[in-house]
Amino acid sequence: MDDLSIKNGSVWTGTRHERADVAVKDGTIVAVGLEPRPAAAVYDAAGRFVNPGFIDPHVHFDLDLGRLRSADDFRSGSIAAAFGGVTTFVDFLAPTDDEHDLERAYHARLEEAEDAVVDYRFHATIKNPKGDPEAYVRKMLSLGMTTLKLFTTYSDSGRRTSDDQIERLLDLSERYGFTILAHIEDDSMITMKDSYGPKDLPRSRPAAGETAEALKLAGFVEKHGGTLYMVHLSSGATLDALRDRYPHLLNRKFFIESCPHYFAFTADALSRPDGFLYTMSPALRTAAERDRLAEGFSDVYAIGTDHCPFSRAEKEHDRLRDIPMGIGGVEHAYAVLSARFGDAVIPKMTEHPALINGLADRKGRIAVGCDADLAIVRPVRERIVSDHSRGCTVWTGTDVTARIEATILRGAFAVRDGRFLGTKGNYVGRKPMI
């Protein structure tokens, strides 16, 4: 007998919703169809959409910024994720530049993440190693990590990877088959003055800096090969420029991630009295930029939230340089984006991030043999009224058309009818790649 049957729902097939039941045993999907099967428990999903559990490939729980830490630890952040139908997230290791520090960072992060309530894995994060980065890459692969984050900016905190090292890493990506994640902003175009307030953020970090850096990195991919994933793309102009110059590489060799806030808000929010709440890096853009990004939504490969909230007191400063960058979003990405883009958002939050992050054998699809990770969605017109993150939120009051009614992690209810039911997340590792 099966452990659980999700009956009468409209089940996501990968391209559309179809009427089917989903049978679960030992945490795994064992059947999808209309043939009756006995089950110990039944969940009636009539009138509901049954989606694969969402994968958020970009969160910062328990992020150490020296004088501050992001507001959510792994437990509170992953509970918020579960309320948003997210059953797997990918967080980051602390930035390192040699293989020994990388291994230490990996074990330290595993310990920090132990309290997560949904499944997770990590991106390695590289600074700017002095010599050949091959030993670093080989260590990463031996630890079962397949994604490596780098920054083209933040030279002031020593996190910027130089162009020649990025080119070397792309050679290594081509050779070993891992994926490079890049924060794309031209470091030389970023300015910061004491006089800058929240409304100056787009001037401090201009869209043109993102476009220039994205084109440069796409050019590196054309020259060296490798696989590149551009995180948190903020500007429609950047997307248009990439599509115009590199249509043969777009979403084949380099991939685009964007975030819910770049579709929901514009830089106008930064001029409000509470504009400090809308500060993140890269910055919010003009309405015209935002609309161009939305028009290009089909070319956005994956949605990550870049979830990195702080408390209101930590954000509330007049001077831009005193405000920690980042907002929350892990709980509301699906509701916010599906209201705007419908089902087109589903692959970008399931199958695509699964493929990028080496999770596709078990996560991101409703298919026999996959983990029984499901987000059961009730179509409803309502306004977001609650947020389970510990940070302050900008999302309450947003109109949405979907509510997560239940989140199922490997066959167990993480969230049901507005209550968290106490699941335990697992680290989803890979066998060493070398």
Beta strands in 173-226 (DSSP E): 179-183
Using alpha carbons, select from 296, 216, 213, 299 the residue that is nearest to residue 256: 299
Nearest to Zn ion of 7, 127 (CB atom) = 127
Contact residues: Zn ion, CB under 5 A: 306
Nearest to Zn ion of 185, 306 (CB atom) = 306
Smallest separation, CB 60 to Zn ion (Å)? 6
Smallest separation, CB 59 to Zn ion (Å)? 8
Neighbouring CB atoms inside 10 A of 175's CB total: 12
DSSP 8-state class, residue 200: G
Smallest separation, CB 258 to Zn ion (Å)? 12
Nearest to Zn ion of 119, 306 (CB atom) = 306
Do the Cβ atoms of 96 and 125 come closer than 8 Å? yes
Smallest separation, CB 369 to Zn ion (Å)? 32
Nearest to Zn ion of 210, 306 (CB atom) = 306
Neighbouring CB atoms inside 10 A of 207's CB total: 21
Nearest to Zn ion of 21, 306 (CB atom) = 306
Residues in contact with 199: Cβ distance below 8 Å, sequence separation at least 6, in sequence order: 267, 270, 271, 275
Cis peptide upstream of residue 282 (ω within 30 degrees of 0): yes
Do the Cβ atoms of 414 and 107 come closer than 8 Å? no
Nearest to Zn ion of 90, 374 (CB atom) = 90
Smallest separation, CB 151 to Zn ion (Å)? 10
Smallest separation, CB 149 to Zn ion (Å)? 8
Residues in contact with 149: Cβ distance below 8 Å, sequence separation at least 6, in sequence order: 92, 123, 124, 125, 126, 180, 181, 182, 183, 231
State both tokens at 240.
């248009």
Nearest to Zn ion of 306, 314 (CB atom) = 306
Smallest separation, CB 145 to Zn ion (Å)? 17
State both tokens at 413.
């209810």
Nearest to Zn ion of 211, 281 (CB atom) = 281
Smallest separation, CB 41 to Zn ion (Å)? 38
Do the Cβ atoms of 16 and 50 come closer than 8 Å? no
Do the Cβ atoms of 2 and 37 come closer than 8 Å? yes
Smallest separation, CB 306 to Zn ion (Å)? 4
Smallest separation, CB 383 to Zn ion (Å)? 27
Tokens 């929350």 — which residue?
A: 328
| 405 SS3 class | strand
Smallest separation, CB 336 to Zn ion (Å)? 18
Question: Angle 323-95-205 (CA atoms, 0-180°, nearest 5)?
Answer: 40
Neighbouring CB atoms inside 10 A of 229's CB total: 24
Nearest to Zn ion of 52, 304 (CB atom) = 304
Q: How far apart are CA 240 and CA 245, in angstroms?
A: 9
Position closest to Zn ion via CB: 306
Nearest to Zn ion of 99, 306 (CB atom) = 306
DSSP 8-state class, residue 156: G
Nearest to Zn ion of 10, 234 (CB atom) = 234
Helical spans, DSSP H, in 8-96: 74-83
Helical spans, DSSP H, in 67-197: 74-83, 99-112, 134-142, 163-176
Do the Cβ atoms of 406 and 423 come closer than 8 Å? no
